[in-house]
Amino acid sequence: MKITKMHTKLLTITGIIFALALFRLLPHWPNVSPVAAMALFGGAFFVDKRMALIVPFVALFVSDLFLGLHDTMIFVYAGFALTVAIGFLLQNRVTVTNTAFAAVTSSVLFFLLTNFGVWMTSTLYVKSAEGLMQAYAAGIPFFQNSLLGNLIYTAVIFIGYIFLQKNLPALKESTH
């Protein structure tokens, strides 16, 4: 019975993450996507840290295959890994305040890393402190949308999963 519950939880969490990845492929406002929510959710609800990294990364990569690969992917994936790690800190501590703080923190770190990546890999900005600041300034409008999407998707997916945990016996057990 315990193995069945663990299997159900694994499939449920994995299914939610892949469903979120599909949302990246649908029309949406620029940078309003479930990327951070996928990573936070995986980190917060997979006890096995390997699964918390593997499942969201596979989902992200598969959706990236459809969206296109680019020069800053290493920075995107580094930000994604940090977001999963922030999700680890949420394990057994999922509250509105902690989850909102995690979503905002991961958004800021992702912004800093990915805009640094644009500065490093593109010819748009001179390779100086001034050029880096220009890259960050140019990214602010994208950050606003990214933060909005991260907060909305994180709230919906965390609340939805907690609702499922409370109403489905196979998800109620605290070890997963």
Question: Three-state secondary structure along the chain?
Answer: CHHHHHHHHHHHHHHHHHHHHHHCCCCCCCCCCCHHHHHHHHHHHCCCHHHHHHHHHHHHHHHHHHHCCCCCHHHHHHHHHHHHHHHHHHCCCCCHHHHHHHHHHHHHHHHHHHHHHHHHHCCCCCCCHHHHHHHHHHHHHHHHHHHHHHHHHHHHHHHHHHHHHHHCHHHHCCCC
pLDDT at 3 over 50: yes
**Higher confidence at residue 49 or residue 3?**
49
**Residue spans per domain, the chain:** 2-172
Q: What is 2-172's CATH number?
A: 1.10.1760
Confidence tier at 108 by pLDDT (50, 70, 90):
very high
d(CA 103, CA 105): 6
pLDDT reported for residue 4: 77
Q: Report yes or no on whether pTM surpasses 0.85.
A: yes
The pLDDT of 149-169, averaged and rounded, is: 94
Paired tokens of 83: 């977001």
Q: What is the pLDDT of residue 2?
A: 62
Kindly report, residue by residue over 10-27, the tens digit of the pLDDT: 999 999 999 999 989 999
Mean pLDDT of 21-38: 90
Lowest-confidence region among 26-35, 148-157, 167-176: 167-176
Mean pLDDT taken over the chain: 92
* pLDDT over 90 (residue 51): yes
Q: What is the pLDDT of residues 80-105, one digit of tens each?
A: 999 999 999 999 999 999 999 999 99
